[in-house]
A and B are shown apart, each in its own frame.
Chain A
């Protein structure tokens, strides 16, 4: 069944635009258009990032598994990343430095730029500069790292020995624990909202 639309077809690009509009609307409505709110996750005054991010991932993981069990979607037919351990960790570390210095990630910078945040336009310009630099130095610096330590299309359940359903359930418990933890931290240390 899934995917309903053919890859590369015009109708699929229209679907992409509509799905993007929904994505952008939700990000903006939840406050992801503000670097102040996003950076709050690192300083304990605003945990909206963790709450939205994990709720969305758990909802989608559970929903996709249900679609799979109903025979409406097979994971072989849709996007599934191949895991490369070392480049993913190094790339994540570089992005982590980018997050705490820039206050956005690429998707949220687009949504903040949409409502007129000039710092978000600067961040988007930075993304382009970074990719230009990466592309011009690809063969000399990045290529060997990027293709190293390939693990294949591995799911977390297979890695830790849980069935797909149990893995999603464990993810749900982890998400609920993290929501409880962040609210407890904010309350216990009486962390005030930052206003500016």
Chain B
């Protein structure tokens, strides 16, 4: 599949209080961003288990974007401390097993950062398009 026709599937796990509201702001501000992203709203990014991320990859996601409140702004005070611990660990584990760690990205986006939200989704989609289809999906299909 060539780069020009490859439309990646991207799963976004966004926290209810910041990034999801940021996405809302991007929407009402009529900011354009690619429709490759499928959003799942969670109450806190700290509730996203690495298992959910891996499940997304297994089920055909080319990229997973996690969005949470900036450190210090968490609605639950310190929930996102766990998010960054888990995702940094998972990225390193994915690297060790050759699972393309760049497909997982964590970004802090506040409710006021509509433009940052749109830009992040644009950049991430562009990055995944450049990396190409997921190695894991190809392997699953071949099996």
- Report if A and B associate in a common complex: no
Instruction: Point out residues on B near A: beta carbons under 8 Å.
Output: none
